[in-house]
Structure 1
């Protein structure tokens, strides 16, 4: 009978040890999941920093384009007329639908989402733009998807992109010219 009690006692100790081992394994797996989650969260926050930088660059582009318009309109070195107000003459706008394209990259995981407004040279251009809208969308999609993140992440890169789009669109217009384009939304993911 003493042997029977001894065997039961050893069996209970074995069950406790395996229970403790299982608890340790579960805690280890949970710790590993938390670590991986932290790394993923850190990487995701890094993308938000890049978006914030892109937003900051977008603001700089808008400010640069406004100062360039002031210079072109002959407002002088101060950029303000006598009344102290900043005058920027912007032509009629022709909005295009949003664009979402994959950027040129090795991994193919970067994409650009943007909205573009075309500044027309005159009202007579509007019917031609409406008629050729699918052609212009195709041209813009091809241009945007041929760019890498590095090419469009700087202010200078965005300006080159704008110039390239304006030049390509103007090659296909008869009734007037596109003066400028404006990115009303520009997000790189």
Structure 2
């Protein structure tokens, strides 16, 4: 009988290899995501790669003031090149995020979630857009709220929507205040 007890105690437990692999995978995913979210923008900034919307956000926050990070004037540094002109043009984009509306004829059971980026055509237009934000959002929601789900899901009509929105905004804010419109987010649910 004494020989039976040591065998029962000596039986090794099975290693939890799938659990260990899962924990390592989750750790790598969390670490990679955190690194991309925190270090990615810093690396992109050092490489000089920013999107117009990010550049507009930095210009709005006034983080760099009249001079850039390296003491260069916003008009293009000491060389007066195209980089400064691109940065000035990029600062003229306003992003309106998370606009939600019910399409015509949907009875409230469907919705459109969109973001609209508006590139200003005039120097003073961006300040007007910011000062009259609610009015600008209302123009967009009113114009797209007349469209049905079928129209909104037809990708070929997106350029027509942009033209209509540009005409509506120009009609309220003055001619040529909008240079271009973009839909960074356009989801019909």
Structure richer in helix, relative to its length? 1
Q: Scaled by the length of structure 2, what TM-score is found?
A: 0.48
- Higher-Rg member (1/2): 1
Q: Scaled by the length of structure 1, what TM-score is found?
A: 0.48
